[in-house]
Structure formats: C-alpha cells, structure tokens
Amino acid sequence: MKKNIVIKLENVWKIYKMGEVKVPALQGINLIIREDEFVAIMGPSGSGKSTMMNMIGCLDVPTRGAIYLDNQNIAHLSESDLAQIRGKRIGFIFQQFNLINTLTALENVMLPMIFQNKQREERIKKASELLELVDLSDRLHHKPTELSGGQQQRVAIARALANDPEVILADEPTGNLDSKSGHKFMDFLKDFNRKQGKTIIVVTHDKMVASHAQRIELLRDGRIIRTIKNH
C-alpha cells in the first residue's frame, strides 16, 4: 500500500526579477514526497536547491504552479498563514545551526514551543525528552559555545522536533561539521527516519550526505534532471 503524500509540487516555477531581466530559478518542477521518505535534493551551486527548499518549507510561494502540503495548496497563502504552517508541520535544520548563544541547549529547544503557546512545564518536559533522544541529556544546561559542532547540530535536531512536525527539512546540515561528525550526524538522521517515521528532506551538494537518502532528486538549472534510488 502506498504511503500518503505529504508534499506535492505541480509545475512549480519561481522567477525572480532583476531590474528588467527575469531569472527563472525553478522551471516546472514536479515532485511527490510521501510519509516516512528520506529524500535528498542535490545539485551544484545555482541549480535552484535553495529556492526549492524555500518552496517545500513554506518560506516562499511560487510564481506559478501549485504546492500541496497535506492536500492543502499553499501557493497563494499569506505570510502569516505560511508561518503558522511552518511552525506546526515543518522542522528546520540549518547549516549554521542558528542556535542562540545566550540560551542553554534546553532553552534553545524550548523556543519554538513558545510560539505555539505551550505551557512552560510542558516545554521543559518535551525539550528534556528530545535532548535525551539525541544523546545530550548530560548537556541540558550547556550553552552552544560549550558544545562541539556535532553536539550543536544535535541540539538543532531536537529543536526541529519541538512541535512534533511531520517533515524535517535540513539545509546543507553537515556544511559546518568535520568529515567524521558529518558521517555520524547523517547516520543519526537516517536512524531517526527509520525509528521515528519522520519524513526527512535534505538539501545538499555533498554526495556523502545524499548517499544516506532513499532517493536523490538531481537538480540542474531549476529542473529535476534525474531521480536516483539508493535503496
């Protein structure tokens, strides 16, 4: 039985205007991502990866075409509606970690729950459980500057999971990690996909990172030129 479709892009175009010039960043993208899938979007710099991530992550809307998230077309939603959807359904992991250095690991993970109006006791309990899940229960009260790069990235995973999103969207997640930490992090993400059943989408130019996904969508010049099945 086929799993439910979580995200669907239908003939998605994104055209940026640079003065009088129109620059197509995405050109007629069609893509389906189902529950529990681990998908890598891969391509060289300038291929449209970041623009595609912005579309999937409800950070931007297409010039034309439709984007369905759980059967709801988000292509014409307002920024405030998009922000609500992002907060509830999508967890982000960024290359720069984007942790707040004045907050502890626990407080960083609690942060997204504030915007969903969760009570403080609930925030502390959930953040503690998530940090235990990523093997950081002994680092709850450490600030990012007191953690290694790999540990900071695991705090970022825990934070991405704070509101129990359906989709984890990771943008070049190993870009600031050394090779060993990068491999370890990807194994962790893969394990997480299998055990927790989260849909994971990784945007990358790194073959090592993409090799962990079940399938790779290869982008070039704003088009998907090839789909590679890994497993």
Positive or negative torsion for Cα 174, 178, 183, 188:
negative
What the chain holds in terms of domains, given with CATH numbers, is 36-60+78-229 (3.40.50.300)
| Backbone torsions φ then ψ of 200, nearest 5 degrees | -125, 130
- Band of pLDDT at residue 12, cut at 50, 70 and 90: very high
Contact status, residue 32 vs residue 8, Cβ threshold 8 Å: yes
pLDDT higher at 83 or 13: 13
Length of the chain: 231
**pLDDT(34) > 90:** yes
SS3 track for 104-115 = CHHHHHHHHHHC
What digits encode the pLDDT tens for the residues 65-80? 999 987 889 888 888 8
How many beta carbons lie within 10 A of that of residue 189, not counting itself? 23
Which residues on neighbouring strands pair with residue 66, listed in sequence order?
Answer: 10
139 token code pair: 């680092």
184 token code pair: 């370890």
Which residues on neighbouring strands pair with residue 17, listed in sequence order?
Answer: 22
Q: What percent of the chain has pLDDT over 70?
A: 99
What digits encode the pLDDT tens for the residues 107-133? 999 998 988 888 999 999 999 999 998
What digits encode the pLDDT tens for the residues 45-66? 889 999 999 999 988 899 999 9
**pLDDT(82) > 90:** no
**pLDDT(1) > 80:** no
Starting at the earlier edge strand, list the strands of the sheet with 167-171: 90-94, 167-171, 199-204, 38-42, 215-220, 223-229
Q: Which of 35, 34, 75, 76 is nearest to 55 (CA)?
A: 75
* Residues in Cβ contact with 90 at an 8 Å cutoff, skipping those fewer than 6 apart: 57, 58, 165, 166, 167, 168, 169
- Band of pLDDT at residue 13, cut at 50, 70 and 90: very high
- What whole-number distance in Å separates Cα of residue 110 and Cα of residue 130? 10
* Mean pLDDT of all residues in 97-103: 92
| Backbone torsions φ then ψ of 157, nearest 5 degrees | -65, -50
**pLDDT(231) > 70:** no
The pTM score is 0.88
- What whole-number distance in Å separates Cα of residue 184 and Cα of residue 174? 10
